[in-house]
Structure 1
Amino acid sequence: MLNDDEIERATSQLAEYRSSNPLPQILDQYATLLEDYRRLRSDYEEERDARERYKQLARDQERNPFVLVLVDGDGYPFHERLLDKGADGGSTAAQLLNEAVKADLRNKGLEQCKIMIRIYANVAGLSKTLARAGLVGAEKRSLGPFIASFNRSYGLADYLDAGELKENADFKLRALMQLYADNAQCKHMYLAFCHDVGYVADLTPYVRGYSNKFTLIKAPGTRFHTQFTKLGMDIVEFPGVFRQTPLETAVPVRPTHNASASAAAAAKADNAPPPWTPSTANRAPTGSSLSPGGGDARQGNVCRFHAVGKCKYGKACKNIHVDRATSSTKWRGSSPDDLVSDTINSLQDPEVRIFPGSNSQPSATTPAKDGTNHQRQQQESHEREIPELTRADSGFASSLPQKQDIPEGCIAVNTKNWRLDPYIPPSDPTISNRLNARISRHRVCNNFHLNGTCDAGDSCEYDHNPLDAESRNALEFIARSKPCSKRGGCRNAKCTNGHICQNSRCKHYGGKAHCKLPFLSHTEDLTVDRFIPADMKSFHNNNNNNNNNCTSQAWAADTSSTSSNAGEDEAYYPVSTPTLGEEEEREKYY
């Protein structure tokens, strides 16, 4: 057996061996390496799966690219010629809008994208507005057939009723814009709501980095606010798709219950649908459309009160009574495919802004589907078709004669013998504000500053202190905003009141500004036909008998005074005037 010394020595040797042997350390390091490898492999597999999912998602996003067209239907009504076609016009409108967007997408390199159209409108309110313009029937939702045809014509085109509450359409359009703005499959967005400046705040966050994803749609009949141009986004116009003129310029049609019942009865007798009145049928009546006791067709004017059942004089009326007349024109006989083809061709020409067929002349009758010549009832009057005024253009009245072009002692008239005022260039707001402040202190004399004379002389209670040329221009604009009692028949050489509205912000041109001038002052042709001698005598008589002409009455909405045009010579008024008792009825329309 080993003695204690040997055992002690063996124990020491074992301890030395253990301390010098690297194998346990190697084994521990190997175990750590295996654990690290296992963790890295798990991370790799997760990263690989994530990349595959990302690639699949990217492929899915590129699989069905589309562009979104958002339209505020209340502010962007379709072209009147589309609305006039009823249900057929709905499908044509969808096709025209779709083709117009396709044509623009080719320029952007996005022709492979599908087109999704969303139009929101207050259908009941829009139907009422269009009915007043004579474009649809008088039912609460008379636009329904047009919308139904629009919706079924194209799978991704929807015309939706947002309800009658205010801002409902705005709420829906904003929500959709925010949803699809960050959608990768939505490659581009066309926005038709630039009549409402409130949308500028919603578009502002997308100006940096996203502005090339938006295109703003401009329509001739809708005001395009200048704030939208500052966003730096593309702007496009689709001619022939949306309305060419503001809705407010259309002649309102207000048939009475009796007139509507008579029209419906006549239509039932002819085995045809009840007639309704389009807004653009203003023509001379044919012989077949005149009632026996309605006056001379060669000399008289058409009585529009008879057309709506309001004429009190019957056969004794001096004007022509039109019982039923046609509203058919060449473009109404064209097929939807013709309209689409013409409009698509017009998209290639940036100068084309008129709907195809707009220059066509009316025909005598409209053949009905059953082969009979069914004529639609319509409002007939001596007024010609309303001019296409766009309130966004502040110089729309520039076709009026310049003051220096009117010969001395003469006034300008159009083909209807309606008096045309000299063109008044728009004034700078600072000039108008300065004049307004002066008038608030002491009202100025119109006759002295605009005509150069005042019979009251130094005893005139109004301001005769000098005005610079810019202030006189602003004063004339103010004076012309007060209507002349003789309207277009005025021949007073120095009349400072208004005969033609030159306010681009007027409510009759689609703006919001209140206007005192009658409706007819907004619809007359502004082109000069000739210059005729003015009535100088009535002017001098006026100045001798009426000093109230020396007040800027346009600034006092509640102040009434004797008109400066009283006592004019009736021989100078070839413009047709209403017969006895009809003036009161006329005021109901204007």
Structure 2
Amino acid sequence: MVNVFVSLDKLAQKLASVRLLQHPQDMRAFAQSFGVNQPLFSIIDVGHGKERADFRIKEMLRTFSDNPTCKHIIFGGCHDAGYLVNLDQYKHNEVKAARMTLLESTLPARGYMELPNFKRARFDTVFRSEPLPEYVSAPAAYQPPAPPSVPVQALVQAPVQTPVQAPARPVVVAKNQSPIVSPTPVNVKPAAPVAQSPSTTSSSLATPSSAASSNSWATVGKTGASNGNISIAPSNKTSAKKRYIYFNKDGYRLDEALSPRDKNASEAIEKRMEKAGRNLCNHWHLNRGQCSNGNFCRFQHEPKLTPAELNSLRYKTRSLACKRRDCDKFDCYLGHQCSYERDQGACPYEPTCNLRSSHGMDKTKYVRYDEDWNEEYSK
């Protein structure tokens, strides 16, 4: 039994962008053919949304690891450190660990080599051993689909199959292997991202107020008709405004400008880190108090930062490049484009800029998505 969990449209866009496919639609034809001759072979399109592939893979791993009729599991997620916590519970259980083989393709994430009792395998004639190349301009023959087909990021993960175990048959749980630096997409429907578990990126890069007031976007919907009631309660509409993430025509993520930085707040967080000898935990402070390391985190969680300090911390994290230039995480706090080039027209740190790969990119907003993945195109 072989299950491959993937954001089909995003992977297709990535493969087309690096000229491994002539047209993104070829990927769907391949996926349909994949299961024709083998009834237990499936490529499952997880659609668009963070962690959808991860969730499926983890559940399949849990289900078949406890299934007495499952003889062996081949797990193809070694590129992703996010699965380590799921495998850790088996590392000292020699019986269960012996029933699992860790499938490696690209360089395994740190931590997998330290897992004892697991078998390991490589199939370099089947899976890529090198990450997919960086994005190159799409073939001239390919024209991005017009709305409502959505241009968005090609979630690149080198196609690594994801088998999962079935009774009396070896099962492989594998996820499309994610290459090194973020893959870049071409325009295509915002299908589900091939999930990539260990994401350190998260920051809402859209300023709701500016997004809502922009007349370059189609309106999301019409306001409902009045029911005749009048309320004198304070309006809370501003807090209910939608958040958006933006992309250009090539599917590259665009960052919204941050609020002006407060000098005193910036100095305060620098002094705090210097005094403690530890940096602030970006996950905790910028991702709504969520940190997978919990009490074992070696970075600072408490005390909480003031709004001005949070904004200053965002400036710091925006100077670091997100690994995925087609990032679709609303709370990604890393940078996706050089703010100097965006706001000033040129970057004074050209040779050493962490975001120099974004220099020269199209800065025009082409499509935006709300948190329900509804898309709107610019007029």
Q: TM-score, normalised to structure 1's length?
A: 0.25
For the pair shown, the structure with the greater C-alpha radius of gyration is: 1
TM-score (norm 2): 0.38
Q: Which has the higher helix share?
A: 1
Q: Which has the higher contact order (CA 8 A, sep 6+)?
A: 2
